[in-house]
Structure 1
């Protein structure tokens, strides 16, 4: 195919996507006017709300971790309730099961028969409240619409075709995790909502023991009395920083924090580390990886699932933002910060890391040899 014909084909494809998208928007708005929820509805929950289902049909690790502030808020507000969740990746189930109040994690597989079986099982349940925690997922809306329930919660929008009993209007935050918490406060008038604003997971004792064994095997005596800096050099698409950036950053860290021990988190066992002689580890169970991350003193990564998992584990994080906005995807955790724009130079990020370690040393003396 010639370049001209390829360009024409790409142009036709883009035009077709725009046509379908515009038609879908018009159809959604028609349904919203007919039976949907274009305006906010803030009401009391039914006093006997005990069975809750949250529908989040997505496989991205970060998007699933964005549920954790809302799920914790629900559990604290309704301590007698059982909260089930529908997601797509079985690998992420144990992360959510570590949270208080969580009942069953339903997995939506891609096979048609499996989807039909899941729908049948969900419709056999007696849910008091079903929640769509995002305002832009057609899959979530369809899932919420198909489950039988007395109360439905979601975002009021001009194209919101779901008939909702509880609906929040426009949110103050752009961050999806915080928007989900605002959904609760914006649509529930009673009882008062207890809120959380950080990601969190709670690995169990088995995960902690496995992480400790891996820590000792990979780092051994090198980590005794020295700060351990974890980093993840991968990210998807334009969010990723090039390999030479990370190599330059490693040189700067070695210069500014000579006593630090570096540990690279790899996406898989066959992935090549940025610098082979640096300690590296690949851990598949996400709860075990979170337990290992909780032992780190700092974590550095571009906008990615491991960045959010480190924040959820309680580790201080420096998030590097090249193609996405910190206002939308910042790591939400203890002592987390973001760097973007002109700050994304290896020497600047290494200097910020050194300053953070020095500040922690002054607050909690533990390390030696840090340069401020």
Structure 2
């Protein structure tokens, strides 16, 4: 009887959730018919477009890194412009501040009072162009609506209730990072864009100095010159994560097949112990410092996760392991990066990909 009541309660909650979602969609579509932008709208940019605001109110590291191709495209194509960004996680701020063309990286705080104070600041600036790079964020749309920009850019949709001056059609690419670049190229007329399709971050000197200290602490014994060093990260959220036994098998196989290479485990700050006592490891909370340390590696292995994308943005050849998500949408983007999924996730196959990219050698695949 108790189990039946629990199932009924769960079913009722799911029904309420679907009902609310459906009502919200119907309301958004009504607003779109009255005020919004259901169809693509391609127009030229105003000649005096100098102050640009990009809004991405999301805390996931990967989603913030997915902004970098679009931000770099804006900076290269509009070199006289200053690009401000609004995000939610202060830890990610240094990653964006190092990009060319970036002015202010605003962080939305949790309190309503702080959010209202930020909106007043944005309204006072009177941006020439405000951009929502996501096609499904109510928070992004609200920020654009209150920012009082002269031009607004986003994706046209049946539920796009915001009035846009530049509206892109549904993106062709499935990859979340490339969609932002497509937003620029398909919503602006009579303009030649210089575009980028790789993630990128550029840590400063202080970040590299801190990374050097972590590096020396991890490798207490000197590392011989020309020794390939491969990093790996064992964490991921939900079904994306590979289990402890898989990582143990990978580490053992790596040490057997690539004895002249070294491993470095990148641990989450709340992950106190490395997977094996005889390998180097680091745990770094500051994302800019972590990016600087990752840039020293010859290769990196991880499931679909924030550190996987951060390593790709740092210029490291990454082998991304996709157990539950689609590489077409979330593959690591950078030189030498690759994505493996399904049957390719055997430790032998992963090691072969690592050896090819990080160690310039081949290993036997069973």
TM-score by length of 2: 0.96
Residues paired across the two proteins, number: 363
Distance 1:221 1:44, change over 3 A: same
Q: Which residue is equivalent to 2:355?
A: 354
1:343 partnered with 2:344: yes
| 1:84-108 C-alpha deviation (Å, 9 max, x unpaired) | 0000000000100000000001111
Q: Which residue is equivalent to 2:269?
A: 268
Comparing 106-115 with 315-324, greater Cα deviation is found at: 106-115
Q: Which residue is equivalent to 1:237?
A: 238
Q: Which residue is equivalent to 1:292?
A: 293
Q: Which residue is equivalent to 1:44?
A: 44
Runs of 4+ in 1 over 6 A off after TM superposition: none
Instruction: Quote the Cα distance in structure 2 between the aligned partners of 1:212 and 1:345.
Output: 33
Comparing 346-355 with 240-249, greater Cα deviation is found at: 346-355
Alignment of 1:205-354 (within 5 A): 205-219=205-219, 220-222=221-223, 224-268=225-269, 270-354=271-355
Instruction: Quote the Cα distance in structure 2 between the aligned partners of 1:223 and 1:175.
Output: 39
SS in structure 2 opposite 1:280?
A: strand
1:269 Cα offset (Å): 5.6
SS in structure 1 opposite 2:222?
A: helix
1:278 Cα offset (Å): 1.4
SS in structure 2 opposite 1:28?
A: helix
Q: Which residue is equivalent to 2:169?
A: 169
Distance 1:29 1:6, change over 3 A: same
1:156 partnered with 2:151: no
1:270 Cα offset (Å): 4.7
Instruction: Quote the Cα distance in structure 1 between the aligned partners of 2:15 and 2:298.
Output: 49
Q: Which residue is equivalent to 1:178?
A: 178
Instruction: Quote the Cα distance in structure 2 between the aligned partners of 1:6 and 1:285.
Output: 42
| 1:270-311 C-alpha deviation (Å, 9 max, x unpaired) | 532222321110111111111110110010000000000000
C-alpha contact 1:256 1:354 (8 A) present in aligned 2: no
C-alpha contact 1:54 1:130 (8 A) present in aligned 2: yes
C-alpha contact 1:168 1:186 (8 A) present in aligned 2: yes
C-alpha contact 1:55 1:85 (8 A) present in aligned 2: yes
Instruction: Quote the Cα distance in structure 2 between the aligned partners of 1:32 and 1:331.
Output: 35
C-alpha contact 1:50 1:128 (8 A) present in aligned 2: yes
CA RMSD of aligned residues (A): 1.4
Q: Which residue is equivalent to 1:131?
A: 131
| 1:216-244 C-alpha deviation (Å, 9 max, x unpaired) | 22114135321101000000111000001
| 1:99-151 C-alpha deviation (Å, 9 max, x unpaired) | 00000011111111111111111111120000000101111111111111110
Instruction: Quote the Cα distance in structure 2 between the aligned partners of 1:239 and 1:269.
Output: 19
1:201 partnered with 2:197: no
Instruction: List gaps (5 residues or longer) in structure 1.
Output: 362-369
Instruction: Quote the Cα distance in structure 1 between the aligned partners of 2:352 and 2:333.
Output: 22
Distance 1:290 1:166, change over 3 A: same
Instruction: List gaps (5 residues or longer) in structure 2.
Output: none
SS in structure 2 opposite 1:127?
A: coil
